[in-house]
Amino acid sequence: MTDDDAGRDHREEFHEDPLGHADAWAGMSVGDLADEYGNAGIGAAKMGRAVDVYAEMLAREDVTNFFGLAGAMVPGGMRSVVTDLLRDGHIDALVTTGANLTHDAIEAIGGKHHHGRTAEAGHERDHDERLRDEGVDRIYNVYLPQEHFTLFESHLRDRVFPEFDGVVATSEFTRELGRANLAANEATGVDEDAGIAAAAYESDVPVFVPAIQDSVLGIQAWMHSQVSAFTLDALADLTNITDVAFDAERAGATVVGGGVPKNFVLQTMLTVPEAYDYGVQLTTDPASTGGLSGATLDEARSWGKLEKSAKNVTVLGDATITLPLLVAAARDRIEG
């Protein structure tokens, strides 16, 4: 026996598990596709593993699901995916941005986002200057007419702010926003669904916006605070989300994007004795950037935010591609 042969007999990292290679066929279900991803390697293997973890997390009745939603997910077309998760009981606490709730409310009360474009190289400035002259805001390749923000501001003044007088937790404010969105949506016969905040209101799911001031919604709240006793208490939400975590028998985290929603979801476990048993992260940022958005869930384990035994996976890619695939494949498994 050679030294090489002896070394191969003690391969601690090697377990015989040959790739099956992914097949693709006409009529395959999204669950089938996820299974085929699991047979492959590199990013496909990560996606397949993410579906395994997420499906198990949703299927267990003893798991409380925390969902972090960053980025331009509503303008990017992910509104219905999140709305349906709320209505079907797959989200128990939502942490998102004021921007996502702004765009969600705009659609609830009759506004629409539109397919747009990015400019050809060398013409970016001319393109955006023209959009500014025409009163159109651009979010990558999505357009939003500025008059929809005016509609949104009137909605807040007429239907939301009058309900408060004094200090309010952000989660109480977003609950009222959801109620108002639902009422306006039904009263005016808007074709579009009432959306995320409304579904959270109907399902009694708290919505936390720890950086609400970083949005049009936050700007409007600040402006109202200048002429009334109304103000938002951000610290109160630490109590409210900690209460959800304390009551959880087991906990799972789904993190879409990074930034404040990601950290707020994960840091919640620093305030309770337990930690997350499951974690799925969808992000575009690699860990090599050194930023929060690319930090792996394994790193969170070192902080005590995930249990040592937690099942977790991070998938790199555009969340407007990976989120629908993750959700649809998991649903295929637990509902099919």
Could you identify the residue written with the tokens 């090599």?
288
DSSP per-residue string spanning 94-154: EEE-HHHHHHHHHHHTT---EE--PPPTT-HHHHHHHHHHTTEEEETTEEEETHHHHHHHH
pLDDT digits (tens, 9 = 90+) for 224-280: 999 999 999 989 999 999 999 999 999 999 999 999 999 999 999 999 999 999 999
Kind plus residue range of the DSSP H or E element containing 250: strand 250-256
Q: Where are the domains of the chain?
A: 43-335
Q: Are 325 and 46 in contact (CB under 8 A)?
A: no
In the structure encoding, which two tokens stand for residue 314, read together? 């991070």
Q: Are 322 and 282 in contact (CB under 8 A)?
A: yes
Catalytic: 305?
yes
If you ran DSSP here, which 8-state letter would residue 287 be given?
G
- Residue 6's DSSP bridge partners are none
In this prediction, residue 7 carries a pLDDT of 55
CA distance 79 to 99: 13
CA distance 76 to 115: 10
Residue 280, SS3 per DSSP: strand
Distances in whole angstroms, Cα of residue 227 to Cα of each of 216, 223, 230:
17, 7, 8
Q: Which of 46, 262, 305, 311 is catalytic?
A: 305
Residue 278, SS3 per DSSP: strand
If you ran DSSP here, which 8-state letter would residue 90 be given?
-
87-105: average pLDDT: 98
CA distance 304 to 273: 10
Mean pLDDT of the chain: 94
171 backbone dihedrals φ, ψ, rounded to 5°? -65, -30
pLDDT digits (tens, 9 = 90+) for 172-223: 999 999 999 999 999 988 999 999 999 999 999 999 999 999 999 999 999 9
CA distance 221 to 173: 10
Q: Model's pTM, two decimal places?
A: 0.94
Q: What share of the chain is helix, strand, coil (3-state, %, to 5)?
A: 50, 15, 35
In the structure encoding, which two tokens stand for residue 134, read together? 């025409």
Q: HSE on the CB side for 149, CA within 13 Å?
A: 14
CA distance 50 to 256: 12
Does the pLDDT at position 59 exceed 80?
yes
Residues for the chain: how many in total?
A: 336
CA distance 238 to 268: 8
Q: Of the ranges 15-19, 74-78, 116-120, which one carries the lowest mean pLDDT score?
A: 15-19
Domain 43-335 has CATH 3.40.190.10: no
- Residue 67's DSSP bridge partners are 94, 254
pLDDT digits (tens, 9 = 90+) for 109-163: 999 999 999 999 999 999 999 999 999 999 999 999 999 999 999 999 999 999 9
In this prediction, residue 15 carries a pLDDT of 80
pLDDT tier at 46, thresholds 50, 70, 90: very high
Amino acid at position 86, single letter = L
Q: Are 257 and 319 in contact (CB under 8 A)?
A: yes
